[in-house]
Amino acid sequence: MEPIDVRNEEYKAYDAEGYPLHLDVEGNLVVITDRQGDGCQKEELERDLRSFLERARTEVPGVGGMRLEDLIRVYVEEFGYAI
């Protein structure tokens, strides 16, 4: 993640439970400062992960019916890092 992308609000960030995280830039670093006050958005995160995995053309069957925990596991297995 590049500071310019964070400034342009090109990314969303969540914790593993679906709470939105606040991304900020300090100098040339991207930092996560805290949870945003929007409440849990688990369904939105699940939808975003499913959409990304489908667009990335992963060969994982059943993505459409996976729970958040499984979607995160698949993402990390496929791409080697958390979002």
Q: For residue 13, give every residue at least 6 positions away whose Cβ sits within 8 Å of its Cβ, in sequence order, or none.
A: 20, 21, 22, 23, 32, 83
pLDDT of 30:
94
pLDDT, tens digit (0-9, with 9 covering 90-100), for 23-70 = 999 999 999 987 767 788 899 999 999 888 888 877 777 888 889 999
d(CA 58, CA 79): 10
What 8-state DSSP symbol labels residue 22?
A: E
For the record, the structure tokens of 64 come out as 């459409």
pLDDT of 25:
95
